Structure 1
Amino acid sequence: MNNHRTTARETTAVQVHIPTPYPTAAPAPVMPVQPNAVPAVASVVLPDGRVVTGYAIEPTRPEPVAAKPAVSCTAVNVAIGGAGFLAVCGGLVLLTSFIAALTAFISQLIILAAVIFGGWIAVQLFSTRGHQGGTTVNIRKAVIKRNHFHS
């Protein structure tokens, strides 16, 4: 008798995945960079008489920083723009007050013309109201001679 039990592990086949490598790109050729000036060769004689020759290494110097002006160009531009804006606003205030004064003057002229014309019309209406028709002539002791009146 076989006491050996079969499990799910034993019955499945083991699959091995082997990763496929990506092809490597060839590195770009490095071009030698020529220095601006050939560095000086220095030779040092050691106390035991040996001579060591090599290039002198100069410490790197930081780039000189350009001197900044005392006032930023942006600040100057903002200040000039603000002065221009204030000048325009002042001109607009003057223009607005001029238009308001001109409007008040024209409205006063219209009111004055209406008062004068209305008064003239009122005088015309009220002066003729007492007479109901034609011209009234009072004739007293008039002598009529040849169609002429003589008083």
Structure 2
Amino acid sequence: MNEPTAYRLPVGHDTAAVEVHRPAPITPAHTVPLVPVQPGSSPAVASIVLPDGRVVTGYAIEPAKPEPVAAKPLVSRTAVNIALGGIGFGAVCGGLVLLTTFIAALAALIHQLIILAAVIFGGWIAVQIFGASGRSGGNTFHIRKAVIKRNHFHG
């Protein structure tokens, strides 16, 4: 009895009648928009008689006036920007040339200082090594022929 059906409701289960309510749309009232008109500024009504005798009455429509064309500059903005970029690049290149010259001069100065230090330090060492040997105040050792017997020095 409680077996599911295609509608997934158990057999013998009574369903209530379903009522569907659909609201009716409200039609809006068509109103004409009011345009404020200054007295004396309303356009004149023109009437035209057609060749077949009909009379057409209406307001005169002024033709649309084209907007004034802006005067083109003599030189385009792109050309001006390219020219200004070239001037700026030229100014920077001059500075870069000076910068590279300064770096090369600084490297040469450091190189010369290293060579000068090597010459001075090398000269000081040479004087220390090959200097006058007749100085006093040092210990003098005279080496004689010695005999070593059983780990004992006899001099």
Q: What is the TM-score when the length of structure 1 is the normalising length?
A: 0.50
Partner of 2:88: 84
Distance in 2, matches of 1:132 and 1:22, equals 131
Distance in 1, matches of 2:59 and 2:102, equals 83
1:98 offset after TM fit, Å?
1.0
The gaps in structure 1 that reach 5 residues or longer are 1-10, 135-151
Alignment of 1:1-151 (within 5 A): 13-19=17-23, 21=25, 30-32=34-36, 56-128=60-132, 131-134=133-136
How many pairs are equivalent?
Answer: 118
Distance in 2, matches of 1:54 and 1:30, equals 18
Given the superposition, is the C-alpha separation of residues 14 and 121 from structure 1 closer, same or farther in structure 2, using an over 3 Å criterion?
closer
1:95 offset after TM fit, Å?
1.0
Runs of 4+ in 1 over 4 A off after TM superposition: 20-24, 37-47, 51-56
Q: Among the aligned pairs, what percent are the same residue?
A: 72
Given the superposition, is the C-alpha separation of residues 92 and 125 from structure 1 closer, same or farther in structure 2, using an over 3 Å criterion?
same
The gaps in structure 2 that reach 5 residues or longer are 1-14, 137-155
Given the superposition, is the C-alpha separation of residues 82 and 64 from structure 1 closer, same or farther in structure 2, using an over 3 Å criterion?
same
1:67 offset after TM fit, Å?
1.6
Distance in 1, matches of 2:89 and 2:107, equals 27
Given the superposition, is the C-alpha separation of residues 31 and 55 from structure 1 closer, same or farther in structure 2, using an over 3 Å criterion?
closer
- After superposition, the CA RMSD in angstroms is 4.2
Q: What is the TM-score when the length of structure 2 is the normalising length?
A: 0.49
Output the amino acid matched with 2:36. P
Q: Deviations over 1:115-149 (max 9, x none)?
A: 13422441343132xx3544xxxxxxxxxxxxxxx
1:94 offset after TM fit, Å?
1.9
Distance in 1, matches of 2:64 and 2:18, equals 62
Higher helix proportion (structure 1 or 2): 1
Distance in 1, matches of 2:37 and 2:91, equals 59
Given the superposition, is the C-alpha separation of residues 22 and 43 from structure 1 closer, same or farther in structure 2, using an over 3 Å criterion?
closer
Given the superposition, is the C-alpha separation of residues 132 and 46 from structure 1 closer, same or farther in structure 2, using an over 3 Å criterion?
closer
